[in-house]
Structure 1
Amino acid sequence: MKPRQEVPETPDGTTIKCFIRRQAAFDFSWHFHHEYELTLITNGTGTRYAGTSVQPYQPGDLVLLGPDLPHTFASDPGPDRTAEAVVAQFREDFLGPGFLALPQFRSIAALLASASRGVLFSPAPPRVQDVLVELPTLDSPAAQTIRLLEALHLLSSAGQRQAISGPGYTAAPDTALRSRIDKICGHLRQAHTREIGLTEVAELVHMSPTSFSRFFRRAMGLTLTEYLGQLRVDTACQLLITTELPVTEVSLRSGYANLSNFNRRFRELKGMTPRDYRNAHRAVKG
């Protein structure tokens, strides 16, 4: 499954586009574009796919994605779960050629450089959230540009941030590496709830199992088993929140035939048992 390229339309040829994305649900739509993107989740929960990463998202999460990094947001299933996000897309030269090379913008330039793997702020600093929510309401691209620069300045000094995608991943849109990774990740997203072996995945990209293991670990920063664990635990989280299925059934539907393995992996990734995870979300909703 290759990501499609999007070409954001900016008003009157400007270098920035700000809008509110509001839908009944965000569908899986794997894509990339040449612009940077800031996405602040303001309502709804689901799964964020960015490069090699598969992570849940929630209101208050903010991601900065670099050019050509494939991504999408897919909403959790369920009624009355309107999905909403504030999005700002901007070119690398949105302030003009060479502007960010000035010494006073060194920290912002460093922040944007780190966005090649994606950067997560969870939750985003309150002041940044206020600025981004205001962006689509401003009546001129000039005002939006000034406020966007303020948001980037605040984020450049924010302490709590984390890289999203694996260290070996490249965002260049037409490389053999990206083509292989996209094909693998698309297949795993569809097949992760059933038993799936190394040989099956290796054959997708015409590699031997041994060569594939080295390739996958180098590109993703984790093994195939670890990546499958991320997908399966994320599926389990959705089932725990949105259904009343017993934990044993959640384990099976997530791709774990062995309940002990499921509990161990879930605790490793979430820091709690599946039952505690469900209870924690019930307490928040109740």
Structure 2
Amino acid sequence: MKPLLFKIAKTEEEAVRILQEDYPYFYDNLHYHVETQIMVILEGKGTYFIGDAIGNFSAGDIFILGSNLPHFFRSDKDYYNEGSGLRSKNISILFSLETMGEKILDLPEFHAVKKLLHYSKKGLMVHGKTQQKLFKAAKKITRKDGMARLIYLLKQLDLISKSQEITALSHINFEPSTRPHDTKKVNAIINYIMENFAKDISLSDAANVANLSVNAFCRYFKQHTRKTFSQFLNEIRIGNACKQLIEEGYSVKEVAFDSGYYNISYFNRQFKLITGYTPSEYLKAHTNKHNMAS
């Protein structure tokens, strides 16, 4: 994976950096940084790419992104429309416990936290009561500074490290690279797919964006995303279909066409392959889950 190395602006006095962001859309270039990041979505929705995982995010979701883990959060298309009035807001907590001293994570009291930070290199999503507690804690930590902020963060990490309500997203580890040419090309390809997935785009279309032959493009794309072009495109399309089934109430046929599928049988096969459900089963499962949470 060769995303952009993203350097977090900070002062020497800060062990924990807090970013409160409020923009029309989230930063959508594939990137990574040395710091571990706890990202709390306050407002907005869209598609995430974390390691090799693709999925949907919305307000209330919480992610823990480990050191040097490639990721981006791309807002839905409506957020890019000028004058939409839509906002994308998040609180990000960025830190690197390793910078506090080589031995701190080797202390017995930090054993569970050390394990959590290693696990976070696959990208984690927080659920349930832990998610609810962490959401409130993220707002509280913005009002703290200095030692109080650091101690409060350690308490939250201890809470998360003991929780069973976290899910790893990526299946593999990545070795980061900082080659700017690769960064620019990968992001151009991803942006093209995200903007055109509902159309009948082909391998040759994507290869032209990268200025590569089809064979060279296939090797290049698999090397940088760990997915084939077809896998990536189908996961983006099915993610869009899931959102439309739940949020828009469209029929299966409407969802399929709007996600770039013109063959319903093929759409149903891909939906089952990626989600583990048929479209109707998925909608029923989501409805039941929503009713139980209400």
Query: TM-score normalised to the size of structure 2?
Result: 0.75
Return the alpha-carbon distance in structure 1 between the equivalents of residues 129 and 38 of structure 2.
Answer: 11
Partner of 1:102: 107
Contact 1:15/1:93 (<8 A) preserved: no
Query: TM-score normalised to the size of structure 1?
Result: 0.77
Partner of 1:252: 257
Q: Return the letter of the residue paired with 2:137.
A: V
Return the alpha-carbon distance in structure 2 between the equivalents of residues 208 and 83 of structure 1.
Answer: 36
Partner of 1:36: 36
Q: Give the match's secondary structure for 1:114.
A: helix
User: How much does 1:105 deviate?
Assistant: 1.2
The C-alpha deviation readout for 1:139-167, integer Å capped at 9, x for no partner, is: x2211111111111122222233332341
Return the alpha-carbon distance in structure 2 between the equivalents of residues 135 and 268 of structure 1.
Answer: 41
Return the alpha-carbon distance in structure 2 between the equivalents of residues 80 and 177 of structure 1.
Answer: 34
Partner of 1:149: 154
Q: Give the match's secondary structure for 2:100.
A: coil
Q: Return the letter of the residue paired with 2:257.
A: L
Q: Give the match's secondary structure for 1:228.
A: helix
Task: Please show how residues 70-219 of structure 1 align to structure 2 within 5 Å.
Answer: 70-76=70-76, 77=78, 82-123=87-128, 125=130, 126-138=132-144, 140-167=145-172, 169-174=174-179, 184-198=189-203, 204=210, 206=212, 209=215
Instruction: Tell me the matched-pair count.
Output: 282
Q: Report whether the alignment pairs 1:8 with 2:13.
A: no
Contact 1:116/1:171 (<8 A) preserved: no
Q: Return the letter of the residue paired with 2:67.
A: P
User: How much does 1:62 deviate?
Assistant: 1.8
The C-alpha deviation readout for 1:206-246, integer Å capped at 9, x for no partner, is: 5774x876776676555443322210012223444555655
User: How much does 1:17 deviate?
Assistant: 0.9
Q: Return the letter of the residue paired with 2:139.
A: V
Q: Return the letter of the residue paired with 1:134.
A: K
Q: Report whether the alignment pairs 1:228 with 2:233.
A: yes
Structure 2: where are the runs of 5+ without partners?
none
Q: Give the match's secondary structure for 1:132.
A: helix
Report which stretch shifted further, 2-11 or 47-56.
2-11
Q: Report whether the alignment pairs 1:261 with 2:274.
A: no
Return the alpha-carbon distance in structure 2 between the equivalents of residues 154 and 174 of structure 1.
Answer: 38
Return the alpha-carbon distance in structure 2 between the equivalents of residues 95 and 69 of structure 1.
Answer: 21
Percent of aligned positions with the same letter in both sequences? 25
Partner of 1:27: 26
CA 1:223 to 1:163, structure 2 compared with 1: closer, same or farther past 3 Å? farther
Q: Give the match's secondary structure for 2:231.
A: helix
CA 1:282 to 1:157, structure 2 compared with 1: closer, same or farther past 3 Å? closer
CA 1:81 to 1:271, structure 2 compared with 1: closer, same or farther past 3 Å? farther
Q: Superposition RMSD on alpha carbons, in Å?
A: 3.7
Return the alpha-carbon distance in structure 1 between the equivalents of residues 121 and 183 of structure 2.
Answer: 13
Return the alpha-carbon distance in structure 2 between the equivalents of residues 124 and 38 of structure 1.
Answer: 16
